[in-house]
Amino acid sequence: MSTGIETTIEFQMSLLLFVALTGYLVASRINQSAVVGEILVGLIVGPSFLALITYTDFVRSLAALGAVILLFVIGLEFDLKDLLDRRYIVIGLFGVAVPWIGGFWLAEAMGYPFGSAVFVGTAMTATSIAITANVLKEMGQLNSAAARAVIGTAVIDDVLSLIALSVSVDVVSGTFSLLTVATTVFKDLAFIVVAGAVGIKLVAPLLEWIDRTPFARRYPEFVFITAMAAAFFFAMGAEFVGISAIIGAFIAGISFKGVDLVHSRDLKEGAEYLHIIFASIFFVSLGILVDINALTPDIMLFLIALTVMAVITKLIGCGIPARLQGVSTRNSLIIGFGMVPRGEVAMIVALIGLNQGLIDQGVYVAIVMMSLLTTVITPIVYRNWLYRGSTDPA
């Protein structure tokens, strides 16, 4: 049985990459981050307008690969000590609590039932590390103090958001217990500690040992393949315990940063090539995922209010605690706006709520659209205000 060429993997992959290239051209024309261009073009070719590409399992899989590879590359830029800062924990806690309260209050004030309000609040807690990290990397600011604060806080925020998701499901379903919450917190923190220890004390020395062998001299790509296999194994482990896969990949990247290679190909250089391809597809997929045709006047009103609340609560929840702990006003704003993108994390929360019948289609559409809008806001604010004319790490 013959099938149309448009259904083949080769055609879909080629089309996705051409769309990503178009995103770069659009970004150049409007003088914005490539992330903004790729998302906008994804929105145009997706079901919202041209319907050339839909969010198939193939696109979803490539996007997931892109997110994992992106966070592995970002992790290679960081030392573990950069993240072990008490200030980040304080900012992360308020960065989850304030948006949850804001989202819950807004949903209830606009007449949505308790269960929906709980899930809206949970979706508001999320932060997409991938979005802000990629923008900072693109602008050459990834080594700045503010960037390290954003990434460190976002990791904590992501873990807390997933804990909030688990608690929300239990609360709405009536199975909530303090023991369940304590177990979830312990499990998530234990994974981060154990994975970091295994990566730094076991896998990193193993990579260096392999690099010194005659085998690595003959096959210099072998260590890179081993490192990527370990990164995906860490990502799988993170998903297994209920944390986002990208956290596992990020921990792997941090663990391998100090690896000293003599004969093998550089880990960062090799991962960058994968990042260029798959991260671009990831950002395009965020635009494809959205269908603005599902908007109604009521949902549009809720969407506008939700987006405004999403920005304000992260600025208050993250920016103010940062300022109170001695961070400069500019860097506090960078941290606050850096935590604004909800991206794929909030979309996942919304999808879980929809699949379990805890929110309706209207709330789902509003959360997904809010996720897209907040994802676009940060690159625009960074490039046109907070980092305008700046090229060196601050």
What does the pLDDT read at residue 389? 65
Instruction: Find the mean pLDDT for residues 212-235.
Output: 94
Evaluate if residue 394 carries a pLDDT over 60. Answer: no
Q: What percentage of the chain reaches a pLDDT higher than 70?
A: 96
Complete DSSP assignment for 13-50: HHHHHHHHHHHHHHHHHHT--HHHHHHHHHHHHSTTTT
Evaluate if residue 160 carries a pLDDT over 90. Answer: no
What does the pLDDT read at residue 290? 81
Q: Residue 304: helix, strand or coil by DSSP?
A: helix
What does the pLDDT read at residue 2? 46
| 325 neighbors 90 (Cβ within 8 angstroms) | yes
With bands split at pLDDT 50, 70 and 90, how would you rate the model's confidence at 227? very high
Buried b / exposed e across 349-370, counting CB within 10 Å, b at 16+? bbbbbbeeebbeebbbbbbbbb
Instruction: Find the mean pLDDT for residues 250-278.
Output: 90
Residue 85 DSSP label: -
Top-ranked range on mean pLDDT: pick from 113-117, 173-177, 234-238, 384-388: 234-238
Q: Is the dihedral of CA 352, 373, 66, 156 positive or negative?
A: negative
* 326-357 pLDDT, tens digit each: 999 999 999 999 999 987 778 777 877 877 77
- Show Cβ contacts of residue 214 under 8 Å, excluding neighbours closer than 6 positions: none
Evaluate if residue 139 carries a pLDDT over 60. Answer: yes
Angle between helices 267-288 and 57-75 (to 10 degrees): 140
Evaluate if residue 393 carries a pLDDT over 60. Answer: no
Q: How far is CA 302 from CA 90, 111, 112, 122, 299, in A?
A: 30, 10, 10, 16, 5
| 33 neighbors 135 (Cβ within 8 angstroms) | yes
What does the pLDDT read at residue 281? 92
Tokens for 394?
A: 């601050």
pTM for the structure as a whole: 0.78
Give CA–CA dist 354/60, Å, rounded: 18
Question: Which residue is listed with tokens 């590879």?
Answer: 69
Instruction: Tell me the chain's radius of gyration from C-alpha atoms.
Output: 21
Burial tier of 17 (Cβ tally within 10 Å: 0-12, 13-18, 19+): middle
* 174-198 pLDDT, tens digit each: 766 778 778 877 888 889 889 999 9
Question: Which residue is listed with tokens 């055609």?
Answer: 11
What does the pLDDT read at residue 3? 58
| 113 neighbors 337 (Cβ within 8 angstroms) | no
What does the pLDDT read at residue 55? 85
Q: Where are the alpha helices (DSSP H) in the chain?
A: 9-30, 34-45, 57-75, 86-109, 114-125, 129-138, 145-173, 178-198, 204-211, 214-218, 222-240, 245-256, 267-288, 297-314, 320-324, 329-338, 343-355, 361-381
* 32-79 pLDDT, tens digit each: 888 889 989 999 999 989 988 888 889 989 988 998 998 898 888 877
Selection from 389, 391, 372, 392 nearest residue 36 by Cα = 372
390 versus 78: the higher-pLDDT residue is 78
Buried b / exposed e across 261-278, counting CB within 10 Å, b at 16+? bebbbebbebbeebbebb
* 230-248 pLDDT, tens digit each: 999 999 999 898 777 888 9
First to last CA, the chain: 60
| 349 neighbors 123 (Cβ within 8 angstroms) | yes
What does the pLDDT read at residue 67? 86
Burial tier of 3 (Cβ tally within 10 Å: 0-12, 13-18, 19+): exposed
Top-ranked range on mean pLDDT: pick from 80-84, 103-107, 270-274, 281-285: 103-107
Evaluate if residue 16 carries a pLDDT over 90. Answer: yes
Instruction: Find the mean pLDDT for residues 149-169.
Output: 81
Q: What percentage of the chain reaches a pLDDT higher than 90?
A: 42
- The count of residues in the chain is 394
Selection from 314, 257, 312 nearest residue 81 by Cα = 257
